[in-house]
Amino acid sequence: MKTIRIAIDPHAIDQAGIAHGAQIIRDGGLVAMPTETVYGLAGNALEPRAVAAIFQAKGRPTSDPLIVHVADMVDLSAICAVPLPAHFDQLTAHFWPGPLTLLVPKHPQLSDLITAGHTSVAVRMPAHPVATALIRASGVPLVAPSANLFSRPSPTSADHVMHDLEGRIDAVIDAGPTQVGVESTILDITSSPPRILRQGGITRAHIEAVIGPVTVHTQHAAHDTAVIAPGLLLKHYSPRTPLRLYRGSVAAVQQAIVAFCHAHPHMRIAWLGYAHDAPQATALGVQFMSLGDINDDESVARHLFEGLRAVDLLQADVIITSEPLGTGIAAAVRDRLFRAAEGRVIEAPAAN
């Protein structure tokens, strides 16, 4: 299969390019599309063969469900069962279109392959003009997990998609880099109180300001477990190079990393750090890439997967990195790094 690239300026959308992508989807094919979070691998949510093709292209187990993307509220009639949960209208009024996915009762005729056999379905309305245009032109809701090989860092550019999926999918719509950089927040509103299953671009504080208290799901599932929503597996977003994840204050983490580098002088080490780490990395002579200012949570999130992918190409023996300390979307970054490290976190002792 030859994967074509369709370039579209999100500020001046080429309708012919959108029509081309939509025809591929109507024919049962797969098109990687930009969203505000990451690039998604889109297929017809109402065509079981297209849904199955997504799992095959990604190498994704069918125990890991998909998110259905809609462009208009009318699209929900084929996806969700009624009545919808009590908080649905409040949340969609505040956050749709946007990076919030809601877990709701599924329509009985919706393929169980999408939901890993569960009676609930994850649905969202993306806030990207190209995604919106593609969904509307296709005339059907689209399932669209991240457009990468399963368990690898999510793609935030068309180049990332081509690196993972060239030859496996029909097309990628190239609309430049994504803006949020981490996947949508997933909120289960079938439970009481509602619970955040995956942290993302909409924070807990944002949600609680609208509907009151919510809980945060903190359990991590094994690879072969049929989870209720995507993003719950322990190993996820992982580079191929082993990742050492440090937790602690800036000073403590730097001290711990310096000690590790000194203890392994012959190891090829790549440091995925922050701007303040650059002088220390230069002094150590290790390969270094920066996620930017550790206090700029949104910028760190935007560059996280790009950084993980870039540092993975350095052919190091190990990647070292650390958690950002902020609130808000920094919690989503910590979640992605935790899973990228397969749950192994090194607590940095207090600095001397």
CATH number at residue 69: 3.90.870.10
Structure confidence at residue 222 (pLDDT): 65
Determine, yes or no, domain membership for 107. Answer: yes
Structure confidence at residue 327 (pLDDT): 85
Determine, yes or no, domain membership for 231. Answer: no
Determine, yes or no, domain membership for 155. Answer: yes
Same domain, 307 and 203: no
| CA–CA distances in Å: residue 235 to residues 176, 239, 244 | 28, 10, 14
Alpha carbon distance 53, 170 (integer Å):
11
Structure confidence at residue 89 (pLDDT): 97
Secondary structure (H, E, C), 59-116: CCCCCCCCEEECCCHHHHHHCECCCCCCCHHHHHHHHCCCCEEEEEEECCCCCHHHHC
Same domain, 39 and 178: yes
Same domain, 51 and 103: yes
**pTM greater than 0.85 (yes/no):** yes
Same domain, 52 and 185: yes
Structure confidence at residue 212 (pLDDT): 97
Out of 198, 216, 234, pick the residue that ends a domain: 216
Helix or strand or coil: residue 23?
helix
Structure confidence at residue 224 (pLDDT): 66
Q: What is the residue-wise DSSP string for 119-176?
A: SEEEEE----HHHHHHHHHHTS-EE--BSSSTTSPPPSSHHHHHHHHTTTSSEEEE--
Determine, yes or no, domain membership for 114. Answer: yes
What is the mean pLDDT of each successive set of 10 residues along the chain, which is 352 residues long? Answer: 97 97 98 98 98 97 96 96 94 98 97 96 98 98 98 97 98 98 97 96 96 89 76 90 97 96 96 97 96 95 97 96 93 96 93 68
Alpha carbon distance 277, 261 (integer Å):
14
Determine, yes or no, domain membership for 226. Answer: no
Same domain, 260 and 299: yes
Structure confidence at residue 199 (pLDDT): 95
Same domain, 255 and 196: no
Same domain, 191 and 257: no
Domains: count for the chain? 2
Out of 216, 251, 280, pick the residue that ends a domain: 216
CATH number of the domain bearing residue 271: 3.40.50.11030
Out of 216, 232, 260, pick the residue that ends a domain: 216
Same domain, 120 and 67: yes
Same domain, 19 and 148: yes
Same domain, 204 and 271: no
Give the range of the structural domain holding residue 180, as residue numbers without chain letter: 4-216
Determine, yes or no, domain membership for 141. Answer: yes
Same domain, 76 and 193: yes
Same domain, 173 and 287: no
Structure confidence at residue 225 (pLDDT): 72
Determine, yes or no, domain membership for 225. Answer: no
From the list 349, 333, 158, 185, the residue with the least C-alpha distance to 260 is: 349
Determine, yes or no, domain membership for 95. Answer: yes
